[in-house]
Amino acid sequence: MEKVIVIFFSVVLINNFILSRFLGLCPFLGVSKESKAALSMGIAVTFVMTMASLVTWFFFHFFLVPYQLEFLQTIVFILVIATFVQFVEMVIAKTSPLLQEALGIYLPLITTNCAVLGVSLLNVKEGYNLLETLVNGFGGGVGFTMAILIMASIRERLELCDVPQCMRGFPIAFVITSMMAFAFFGFQGFFSK
């Protein structure tokens, strides 16, 4: 149980997917202009990351390992994730129009989010069991949501600032992310004994 808690907090704070692993930067930079959209994106990513971790774990342990096909994991994982996202989209459209409106166009975009494929590959690489895999996927999503929300709040304030012409848009966003990554360094060594 202790290990699960350590995994959760380290993936949220220390090995944050965006600020220290550099995964999922495209949506982080693309959808962080206002905090409402950022929150929707964060929730969608958290949901897909958790479920994709679960699905790819089953595929890996019940399909690839018994037939010794581990070398096909990249192809199988990306297909599973793409199919899964499509499936989730259809289910949500049928059952909950409210949720569909909240997630909007962000769901299909998530297929090409490297954080989703990244978390699946990391789970296999670290040899996590089912519970640890779920916690890692969920924690990764929570960390992503936190980072994108902080970023969106800063960028909303930035609208009123006089940023030099050539630094507007992406460059200043990267510099802010750098400062955030710096701040999160404070959590380093939190769990080392």
Partner 1 sequence: MKNQMATRFRFGDEIFKGISRENPTFRLVLGMCPSLAISTSVINALGMGVAATFVLLGSNIMVSLIRNFTPAKVRIPVFIIIISTFVTIADLSLEAFTPDLHKALGIFIPLIVVNCIILARAEAFASREPVFYSIADALGMGAGFTLALTLIASIREALGNGTVLGYPVFGAHFDPAVIMILAPGAFLTIGLLIGLMNHLGRKP
- Contact predicate 22/178, CB 8 Å: no
One residue of 75, 91, 93, 105 binding partner 1 per CB under 8 A: 75
The stretch near partner 1 (CB under 8 A) out of 1-9, 96-104, 111-119, 132-140 is 111-119
Distance separating alpha carbons of residues 18 and 52, to the nearest angstrom:
18
Between residue 80 and residue 99, which ones bind partner 1 under the rule CB under 8 A? 82
Interface with partner 1 includes 6 (CB under 8 A)? Answer: no
Between the CA atoms of 4, 82, 144 and 150, what dihedral angle is there, to the nearest 10 degrees? -160
**Options 39, 99, 158, 172; binder of partner 1; rule CB under 8 A:** 172
DSSP 110: G
13 scored as a contact of partner 1 (CB under 8 A)? no
| 148 makes contact with partner 1 (CB under 8 A) | no
Task: Judge whether 140 and 9 are in contact, CB under 8 Å.
Answer: no
Report CA torsion sign: 54, 67, 127, 77. negative
Rounded Cα distance between 94 and 38, Å, is 24
Give the residue from 145, 134, 140 showing the smallest Cα distance to 4.
Answer: 134
Residue 154 touching partner 1 (CB under 8 A): no
- Name residue, tokens 């779920």: 134
| Given 74, 95, 96, 129, the residue binding partner 1 (CB under 8 A) | 74
Q: Which of 4, 43, 78, 146 binds partner 1 (CB under 8 A)?
A: 78
Q: Which is nearer to partner 1, 22 or 59 (CB)?
A: 22
23 is an interface residue for partner 1 by CB under 8 A: yes
* Dist. CA 126–CA 128, nearest whole Å: 6
Selected from 61, 100, 118, 191, the binder of partner 1 by CB under 8 A is 118
Residues in the chain: 193
Q: Residues 91, 170, 186, 190: which binds partner 1 (CB under 8 A)?
A: 170
Binding site for partner 1 (CB under 8 A): 19-26, 29, 71-75, 78-79, 82, 112-114, 117-118, 121-122, 125, 164-167, 170-175, 177-179, 181-182, 185
